[in-house]
Each structure stands twice: as structure tokens, then as C-alpha cells.
Amino acid sequence: MNIMGDNKMSFEQVIDTCVGVPRREDIVKNDTVENPRWKPISHGSFINALATGIEHHGLEITDSAFALNKTGHLLVGGFKVKGACLPAIPSGMAAEFELFTRHANNMSRAIQLNAGLEMMACTNGQMTGECIARHKHTTGFDIDEWARDVALAEFIEDCARQVRNVEELREMECNTDQAARCILEAGSRGIVPLARTVDIWNEWKDPVFNANDFAPNTAWKLVGNMTHIAQKCSPQRQLQIVQAASPLVREFCRAQSIDVDVIPA
């Protein structure tokens, strides 16, 4: 999994080294000091619970990668998985299902999971569905039970939605005006860094990948352009772009009329 870039950690490294949690008094914005609901969960415990849940559902982990932010409080990454309970990959695609995850051991953010596909063409998470299986750190929260009975069950269900999304995007037309407007909007909304919008536009005009992977003038191609350029961003930013690309492209490609003359040819 190259979505983590040069900062990636292996599953074993997370389990072995990310076992601690920050003390209440060490959190900068420290409204949890007097909060009896404080129950930090280590990154190691979280990732181990997901791995156990994956195994419980008869899935096999084929690869994994993770990365930490500068403070070590935020972990992003995911697992590549395969198994009989997952739907078939859309025809003509070399891809694997992925379980993306985000976890903050200082309770600054809720747990977040996404299902997605990794295209072998670009070795990056190609797209994700809507966020699944969110949960806050609270007293009484059983991370192992949640991972097994909630998170993985929702992941398997969402993989079927991913297949439908891919098939829809591959059939959806996207002209150059729509692509230009969508790229500008992605920068305006902060979905992609403004500095990268030109890279995405150049990728649309002169793609790295051939038409066998991403047919020209399709929504699928634009999603591929966005997530390919995402690899130049930080791990956390990559995950945000991968998550948001598909819904944004679908929104713009469904528009009946778009009048764009902002980006020069």
C-alpha cells in the first residue's frame, strides 16, 4: 500500500510501538482532564482489534500500511483484504478491497472507517464510500466487540456499494468543462490543496495511465486523476482526498449544464 508514502508503518510496528496513550495533562486543548468519560485507546489496541475482526469474518489481510502525525496522536492507514464474503471486483479491473481507518488516541477525533478499492494501476486507494462505523471514545466502549460486530460487518456491506459506485462512475460521462469546474471546486472547498489543482488539471489533459485503466471523458478518469495526485500529499491529506473525490465528481458530472472558462486549455 503506497497511500502512506515514505512515512508508512507496518502492522507489526503499530502493534509493537504504539501501545501508549497520552496523559490527560499532556493534551494541549485539555477539556478532558476533569471528564470522567475519558477512555483513551492506544493505536496498537485499535489496530489489533480490527485485525482480529477481519479474521473473525473469514477475511485475509494481504497488506497494510499506517502513518502517524507529528505528535503521534493521530493514526491513518488501512488494510488490504480479500475473502469469499466480499463481492467480485468489477470486470476488467485489477484491484483489491481496502479498509481505510483514522484513529486519534487523544480523543481529538472520533474513530472513522471507510471502505475502498486500491487500483493496481496507480497503487493508491482509488476511492471510498461514505464514512462507516464512526465511534467516539467513551467509558464502556468495547473496542474488540465493536470491531468484530459493527465495523467489519459494515465494511463488508459497504464493499458491495463500492462495486456499484465503480460501475456507475465508469459509465458516467465527464466533459472537459465539467472536469475543470470540479477541479476548481475541489480546491475551493479545501478537498485538495489549491497548489495541486493545476497538477490534477494537467493529469486530466495528459494522463499517466492509458484508456484501459481509465476511459477518457468519464467520471472514473477524473476520480483517478484526483487520487493519483493525492499521493503527493501527506498521509492524512491523502485519506481526505480519497474519501471526498468520488462524491464530488459524481455531483458535478450529474449537473445538466456547466459553463466554465476559467482554466485555459
Q: How far apart are the first and last CA of the chain?
A: 34
Amino acid at position 20, single letter: G
Q: Is residue 38 part of a domain?
A: yes
**One domain for residues 9 and 133:** yes
Percent of the chain with pLDDT over 90: 27
**One domain for residues 91 and 139:** yes
Q: Is residue 181 part of a domain?
A: yes
**One domain for residues 156 and 176:** no
**One domain for residues 159 and 193:** no
Per-residue pLDDT tens for 3-42? Answer: 455 567 888 889 888 888 887 766 655 454 455 566 788 8
The last residue of one of the domains, among 110, 133, 164, is: 164
Mean pLDDT of the chain: 80
Q: How many domains does the chain have?
A: 2
Please give the residue range of the domain that contains residue 65: 5-164
The last residue of one of the domains, among 100, 134, 164, is: 164
Q: Where are the alpha helices (DSSP H) in 103-256?
A: 143-146, 152-171, 176-188, 194-205, 219-229, 235-253
Per-residue pLDDT tens for 228-249? Answer: 888 777 766 777 787 788 888 9
pTM of the entire predicted model: 0.74
Per-residue pLDDT tens for 132-143? Answer: 666 666 667 788
Which among 102, 104, 107, 108 is positioned nearest to 131, based on CA atoms? 102
Q: Is residue 258 part of a domain?
A: no
Q: Is 66 helix (H, G, I), strand (E, B) or coil?
A: strand
Q: Is residue 72 part of a domain?
A: yes
